[in-house]
A and B are shown apart, each in its own frame.
Chain A
Amino acid sequence: MAFDLDHFAETSIPVKYEDLDFDTFESQPLDDQTLRSLRYMCDVEFHTSCFLRDMLVTPSHREEDTGGFMTMWNREEFWHGEALSMVLARHGIVVDYDELKAKRVKLGWSNALGPLKQSVMSNLAGTDFVAVHMVWGAANELSAVAAYRRLSALTDHPALSPLLKRIAQQETRHVAFYTTQGRDRLEASPTAQKIVRLVMSRAWKPVGSGMMEESEVKHVMGHLFGGQPRELDKLDKRVQKLPGLDDLTIFRNAFARLGIA
């Protein structure tokens, strides 16, 4: 089914949490492991403007559907970050504008050179590079959905669990866009299939890897997916459905590199 940008844009709404009783965090505070994972997720959501920045230096931004999607996606992810920051605030953890700025500044060169790397690669690969973005985005959003659902199930908290499920549900809209776009572009170009296969098998890492310390990536991914090989296989199967990617196991491989079975 063709992507309906206007429908997507008109149905883009904030994740709802005003009906959830956040006072339950006083009587049932979250444990440290959960808070650490939540902090990771919150940082990744708020980092979307940097992911957007990297995509905007490629041909992606000139396409109406992609540009429109990125506009709505950027806002939806921001709202997710806000919701998670409210939960963290209930536990004395501050994620305000100054904290976010500090995080971004302290990423230093690796963050500053992000757009430059993307621009060089897209100049070399041309419009086929958009396929890389779409499949990369699909993999990231698939793992985000799985992560939110895992954490929701692990914590079983009256306020947090429904909030995480709602965020996961919104993320499925993003999965649908990226997957559809990725499929269309891969079907249209054998060259794109080769480029995407190469990049995904060599370079893809779990969402947040470029901006979080490796120790945090290991900790959070271990917390959520340690001892859950079937979850990783399910994610790999979703990616394998895309043209030209039929035997890729990017999730299994990436988690194995982290030492997470």
Chain B
Amino acid sequence: MAIGSAVGTGRRAAPETAPGAQQTGQFVGHLHLDETISPVVRTDFDVAAYAKRGTERIVVDSSQRAADGPLPAELRTTLGVLHRLEASALAESRAMLATSTGHEARITAFFATWLVERFWQSRALRDVLAGGDPASVTDAADTSEHRSALHPLHALRRVHVDRVQPLLSPLWGIVTGEGVTAGHMARMAIQEASLQAALVAVSRQLDGEAQRVVDRVAERHDAAVGFFTAEAITRITRSRGEAISARAVLALSSPLHGGGLADAQLITALRVIGADTRDRAALRRARFEITRLLPGPDLAGGLPFPRPLKGA
């Protein structure tokens, strides 16, 4: 359903509310739209319905969570990584909105609710980790604790993301044009599907309130996986130029690096997530669903897992 479509009977002719409003022809009722503008991509995903339905907090029963006992250290670490990745949505949108992707009104309409969903998802994981003390859990992937564990080049990467990327993004967008959007959608499709697969994997290793909440968070990803995957595939398959742009964007930074910054504990988390072959396969599928459509060999060996793998 397109927003603002005229409904009801006896529609009035569009008044001349501003210079240039079109009274007849293909673009009747439009002020700005003409043949120079390529229409937004439309898929089967109903963005209008998604935007209307809203979203709400995932409530964590902290008493039950406390009664279930402390989480094993490796699971805490893994949930921490996933919490921080969920919390990176605003940083991810920053890169997208600064380019041609920001022009795509159907995408920004989706973002309006999606950003809130990711907010509540990250909050839920934080609440599972925190018990009664939310301040004990940090959202940022690069707190001093995590930063010290990372390669020194991480500091440069952080400067690049914070200070240089905003200067370059508009230029990057001008060079690639609308093609960059295919890359953004591909990145987010992989990130969302990977997050969902990772949460399912972690859920199998949990019980009680933590498992219940993690299952809810995993379910919440359905819509975003559907939207971004459909957008990415539609764009990638309609033109080689967009497929090449998608490959270029994916090569810049792993979708598992929220906001373009690596989490120092990601490798540890992947060992936990990939402990079961089913889950390694699910993570591969999350990526391969998109990368199979891209030109050239698969990127970075296709797998994010460190070697050797436990239980391989």
Interface size on B, residues (CB 8 A): 64
CB distance from B137 to the nearest CB of A (A): 11
Query: Are A112 and B170 in contact, CB atoms less than 8 angstroms apart?
Result: yes
Question: B127-168 toward A: CB 8 Å interface, digit per residue (1/0)?
Answer: 000000000000110000000000000000000000100110
A93-B29, A95-B3 given; A32·B16 CB < 8 A: yes
Give the docked Cα–Cα distance between A228 and B209 (Å): 58
Question: A70-94 toward B: CB 8 Å interface, digit per residue (1/0)?
Answer: 1110110011001001101111111
CB distance from B172 to the nearest CB of A (A): 11
* Chain B residue nearest in CB terms to A120: B167
Question: A19 at the A/B interface (Cβ < 8 Å)?
Answer: no
Query: Are B3 and A90 in contact, CB atoms less than 8 angstroms apart?
Result: no
* Chain B residue nearest in CB terms to A64: B139
Query: Are B57 and A61 in contact, CB atoms less than 8 angstroms apart?
Result: no
CB distance from A133 to the nearest CB of B (A): 14
- The interface-forming segment of A98-106, A135-143, A150-158 is A98-106
Query: Are A93 and B14 in contact, CB atoms less than 8 angstroms apart?
Result: yes
CB distance from A90 to the nearest CB of B (A): 7
Write out the residue numbers on chain B whose beta carbons fall within 8 Å of the beta carbon of A237.
none
Question: A222 at the A/B interface (Cβ < 8 Å)?
Answer: no
Within 8 A of A (CB), among B22-45: 28-34, 37, 39-40
Write out the residue numbers on chain A whose beta carbons fall within 8 Å of the beta carbon of B111.
49, 74
Write out the residue numbers on chain B whose beta carbons fall within 8 Å of the beta carbon of A106.
32, 37
Question: A221 at the A/B interface (Cβ < 8 Å)?
Answer: no
Write out the residue numbers on chain A whose beta carbons fall within 8 Å of the beta carbon of B173.
112
Query: Are A78 and B109 in contact, CB atoms less than 8 angstroms apart?
Result: yes
- The interface-forming segment of A9-17, A167-175, A252-260 is A9-17
Query: Are B37 and A105 in contact, CB atoms less than 8 angstroms apart?
Result: yes
Give the docked Cα–Cα distance between A115 and B166 (Å): 6
Query: Are A56 and B94 in contact, CB atoms less than 8 angstroms apart?
Result: yes
Within 8 A of A (CB), among B74-111: 90-91, 93-94, 97-98, 102-106, 108-109, 111
Write out the residue numbers on chain A whose beta carbons fall within 8 Å of the beta carbon of B18.
36, 39, 216
CB distance from B59 to the nearest CB of A (A): 10
Give the docked Cα–Cα distance between A35 and B51 (Å): 25
Write out the residue numbers on chain A whose beta carbons fall within 8 Å of the beta carbon of B169.
115
Give the docked Cα–Cα distance between A46 and B31 (Å): 15
Query: Are A53 and B98 in contact, CB atoms less than 8 angstroms apart?
Result: yes
Write out the residue numbers on chain B whose beta carbons fall within 8 Å of the beta carbon of A49.
97, 102, 108, 111-112
Question: A62 at the A/B interface (Cβ < 8 Å)?
Answer: yes
A49-B111, A105-B37, A112-B174 given; A97·B116 CB < 8 A: no
Query: Are A85 and B8 in contact, CB atoms less than 8 angstroms apart?
Result: no
Among B4, B32, B40, B167, the residue within 8 A (CB) of A88 is B4
Query: Are B57 and A53 in contact, CB atoms less than 8 angstroms apart?
Result: no
Which residue among A94, A105, A112, A215 has the maximum number of chain B CB atoms within 10 Å of its CB? A94
Query: Are A94 and B112 in contact, CB atoms less than 8 angstroms apart?
Result: no
Query: Are B40 and A97 in contact, CB atoms less than 8 angstroms apart?
Result: yes
Query: Are B170 and A9 in contact, CB atoms less than 8 angstroms apart?
Result: no
Among A32, A72, A103, the residue within 8 A (CB) of B15 is A32
Query: Are A97 and B3 in contact, CB atoms less than 8 angstroms apart?
Result: yes
Query: Are B103 and A71 in contact, CB atoms less than 8 angstroms apart?
Result: no
Give the docked Cα–Cα distance between A88 and B108 (Å): 20
Among A50, A53, A82, A98, the residue within 8 A (CB) of B39 is A98
Question: B307 at the A/B interface (Cβ < 8 Å)?
Answer: no
Within 8 A of B (CB), among A19-38: 22-23, 26, 29, 32, 35-36
Write out the residue numbers on chain B whose beta carbons fall within 8 Å of the beta carbon of A216.
18
CB distance from B143 to the nearest CB of A (A): 12
Query: Are B90 and A99 in contact, CB atoms less than 8 angstroms apart?
Result: no
Write out the residue numbers on chain B whose beta carbons fall within 8 Å of the beta carbon of A22.
8
* Chain A residue nearest in CB terms to B134: A6
Query: Are B3 and A85 in contact, CB atoms less than 8 angstroms apart?
Result: yes
CB distance from B105 to the nearest CB of A (A): 4
* Chain B residue nearest in CB terms to A59: B162
Query: Are A46 and B57 in contact, CB atoms less than 8 angstroms apart?
Result: no
Query: Are B116 and A94 in contact, CB atoms less than 8 angstroms apart?
Result: no
* Chain B residue nearest in CB terms to A23: B8
CB distance from A222 to the nearest CB of B (A): 14
Write out the residue numbers on chain B whose beta carbons fall within 8 Å of the beta carbon of A162.
none
CB distance from B193 to the nearest CB of A (A): 22
* Chain B residue nearest in CB terms to A107: B103
Query: Are B33 and A119 in contact, CB atoms less than 8 angstroms apart?
Result: no
* Chain B residue nearest in CB terms to A14: B54
Query: Are B116 and A104 in contact, CB atoms less than 8 angstroms apart?
Result: no
Question: A116 at the A/B interface (Cβ < 8 Å)?
Answer: yes
Give the docked Cα–Cα distance between A61 and B120 (Å): 17
Give the docked Cα–Cα distance between A118 and B174 (Å): 18
CB distance from B128 to the nearest CB of A (A): 16
* Chain A residue nearest in CB terms to B53: A14
Query: Are B8 and A61 in contact, CB atoms less than 8 angstroms apart?
Result: no
CB distance from A165 to the nearest CB of B (A): 21
Question: B252 at the A/B interface (Cβ < 8 Å)?
Answer: no
Q: Identify the 3 closest CB pairs spanning chains A and B, nearest first.
A: A85-B4, A100-B105, A53-B97
Q: Please give 16 more A-B residue pairs, beta carbons under 8 A apart, in addition to A79-B51, A92-B11, A101-B33.
A: A10-B56, A50-B102, A57-B98, A61-B94, A68-B119, A71-B116, A72-B116, A75-B113, A97-B3, A98-B40, A99-B4, A99-B31, A100-B105, A104-B103, A112-B173, A119-B167
